[in-house]
Structure 1
Amino acid sequence: MFPRTLLCLAIASGSSAALADTVWLKNGDRLTGTIKLFDGGKLLLQTDYGGAITLDWNKVATLESDRELLVKQGDFIGERAKSLQRSEDGKVILANGEEPKMVELASIQQILKPKPVLEDFVWKGNVDLSFDYKRAEKDTDDYDVDFKTQARHGSWRHNAKGGYNREYQNKVETTDNWSAEYALDHFIDEQWFWQGRLEYKHDNVEDLRRQRTVGTGPGYQFWDNELGAFSLASLANRTDHQYANGGKENFYALSVKWDYNRYLVGKNFELFSSGEVGKPLAGVADYTLDAEVGLRYKVTDWASLNMKAQKDIVSGSEGEIDETRYTIGFGVGW
């Protein structure tokens, strides 16, 4: 009985080793684990001994995997590889059941696990919540919910975000607003893209009740990898304002949007900032600003704590706004 148990353990151990992905580095080191993603010059390897390890692609000599992976080279068309086989330094063999294909590592732009229907579909996002209950001379109840999500397929990227904020002081409503935005990016090459976006803001308390903005323009993706992302977009916009007294106005403006995040300390912390600053082409308003900056601490693979500062300014118009909010809360991410 005992020898048979040892035999079963040996077989199981050998099977586990065979199923592990292997990465050989140019310095002679060999790492085993599961290849999760390669994008933006960074290879993410999930290991049992060190968690998620991020490797510079230019330090990789070759690699192998028994799993089916989608390998993209230089364009937006991916090739399914039934497995990756070790080759000479700087190359890897794609095995597809036909004649094996040897490719240069330098030519590979992305490696990821194929998804059904949309093979190269990548979806990420987070939802942040914060609540503030204060009982003093002025009782304050403050609720804040924000979400942000992004989906990428081929040369298209979908971006959506929104938020809801409500506050009471001594049971009197002092803040009640929500916003939503959708932007669609079409990548012309690996870094340049064209964006079209639609944004709507609604406020039940301030004089400026509704803001609608439609815009389009070019953007540039400086980087987007496992360690973070940074992009800028320059847009030409039309904005419509509607006020509490029934008045309306519209104007055209130029704006610059940014979206930045950077993972720190082994991806336990995330520094992030996003926003938009705009200048109307007519004298309707001096300038507009809608921005946030924050820090997120990862408690588990999906849960996090966050601190944020948000600024919203509409200067020089009939319904001027100058609001700053600080929130601390928790969230979930994927």
Structure 2
Amino acid sequence: MFPRTLLCLAVFSASTPLLADTVWLKNGDKLSGTITVFDGGKLLIQTKYAGAVAIDWKEVKTLDSDQHLLVKQDAYAGEVSKSLTAADDGKVTLANGEAPKTVELASIQQILKPKPIVTDLVWKGNVDLALDYQRAEKDTDDYDVAFKTSARHGRWRHTGEGEYNREVQDAETTTNNWRAEYSLDRFLTDQWFWQGRINYKRDHIEELARQRVVGTGPGYQFWDDELGAFSLGSLLNRTDYEYRDGSKDNFYSVAMKWDYNRYLIGKKVEFFTNGEVGKPLSGVADYALDAELGLRYKVTDWASLNLKAERDIISGTNDADLNKTRYTAGFGVAW
């Protein structure tokens, strides 16, 4: 009896089609797959035949899904729907037990898979690793590890990043430094936000041994969608310098931060740049620049190759200027 039951279940499973989400477009086309996210005017659906496909939300006629999805009709609040059911053109029905609700597609700002605790959490990031071993007249070992991650829920966005650099030539360490930064953004509108951040840098080789920066100020998010993001921020900073001989400087400065990335060639290639340029309000230094520029090429959905150029300048300090350019090539992971 038990084997017969198993056989019936197997036959039923084989004869039952796998459930899939469906999106109907205004031009008459239909796509089947798994809805991943809708944000920034783009609906991302994962298909077996074309991978991840980004669809302009204005071209969607209606859609259907058996997933539990968080549907947000404004930037900060939403409801978890047990399923989505196709409705009239330009509409979709949110199925929640005995009280289904049909809404206009134009009123929906975001669709996410709900998280267990913070249902509207969006988390993304990357880790890049570069290694260079050169055996020639001068033996060189070069290591570079960098990470950046951000998590957003409601009006809040948390961003953490860090990097470690080490270079050894003929058993002598010529570069050995690391940095870490945490920033917290509170969105006042869909674009305007207020940021607070703390940054720490430690260098075991250069005369400028330690840098501590605490700052706050307004910022503007121009866009943040499936094809990239761009934001600018202005900060009032309190900066502390500590030199290798034990002397110290501290001062206030104004700074401009930027963070830009753009996906190209069907999201296979990512161009990115981020950094900060600052001007002290006193005569401790002329200016400071910390910038990064690079490309990532996605080998798989999670693995990538990367090329980066980094520039770090501090000009006009009382004890020691800094002017360093670094080029790296390596691999990484992203999520």
TM-score normalised per structure 1: 0.95
- 1:290 corresponds to which letter in structure 2? D
Shift of 1:29: 1.1
Instruction: Say if 1:205 and 1:11 are closer, same or farther in 2 by CA, change over 3 A.
Output: closer
Does residue 285 of structure 2 align to residue 285 of structure 1? Answer: yes
Shift of 1:217: 0.7
Instruction: Say if 1:242 and 1:102 are closer, same or farther in 2 by CA, change over 3 A.
Output: same
Shift of 1:11: 6.1
Instruction: Say if 1:178 and 1:48 are closer, same or farther in 2 by CA, change over 3 A.
Output: same
1:15 alignment partner in structure 2: 17
Partners of 1:189 and 1:110 lie apart in 2 by: 16
1:172 alignment partner in structure 2: 172
Does residue 228 of structure 2 align to residue 228 of structure 1? Answer: yes
Q: Which residues in structure 2 correspond to 1:124-143 (within 5 Å)?
A: 124-143=124-143
- 1:232 corresponds to which letter in structure 2? L
Partners of 2:65 and 2:188 lie apart in 1 by: 31
1:216 alignment partner in structure 2: 216
Q: Which residues in structure 2 correspond to 1:83-94 (within 5 Å)?
A: 83-94=83-94
Shift of 1:14: 4.3
Instruction: Say if 1:48 and 1:163 are closer, same or farther in 2 by CA, change over 3 A.
Output: same
Shift of 1:222: 1.1
Partners of 2:316 and 2:98 lie apart in 1 by: 67
1:187 alignment partner in structure 2: 187
Partners of 2:228 and 2:215 lie apart in 1 by: 26
SS state at 1:15 partner: coil
Partners of 1:327 and 1:61 lie apart in 2 by: 46
Does residue 322 of structure 2 align to residue 321 of structure 1? Answer: yes
Partners of 1:150 and 1:176 lie apart in 2 by: 26
Partners of 2:95 and 2:320 lie apart in 1 by: 63
Give percent identity, aligned residues only. Answer: 68
- 1:291 corresponds to which letter in structure 2? A
Give the alignment's Cα RMSD to 1 decimal. Answer: 1.6
> CA offsets, 1:145-193, max 9 Å, x none?
1011111111111100000001111111111100000000111121111
SS state at 1:106 partner: helix
1:274 alignment partner in structure 2: 274
Partners of 1:70 and 1:235 lie apart in 2 by: 34
- 2:222 corresponds to which letter in structure 1? F
Q: Which residues in structure 2 correspond to 1:196-275 (within 5 Å)?
A: 196-275=196-275
SS state at 2:97 partner: coil
Give the paired residue count. Answer: 328
Shift of 1:9: 6.8
Shift of 1:28: 1.3
Does residue 62 of structure 2 align to residue 66 of structure 1? Answer: no
Partners of 1:190 and 1:280 lie apart in 2 by: 31
Shift of 1:8: 6.9
Shift of 1:12: 3.9
Partners of 1:124 and 1:76 lie apart in 2 by: 19
SS state at 1:229 partner: strand
Shift of 1:213: 0.2
2:303 alignment partner in structure 1: 303
> CA offsets, 1:252-300, max 9 Å, x none?
1111111111111111111111111111111211111001011111111
2:3 alignment partner in structure 1: none
1:161 alignment partner in structure 2: 161
Shift of 1:92: 1.0
> CA offsets, 1:5-38, max 9 Å, x none?
9x9778645431xx21111111111111110000
Partners of 2:236 and 2:160 lie apart in 1 by: 19
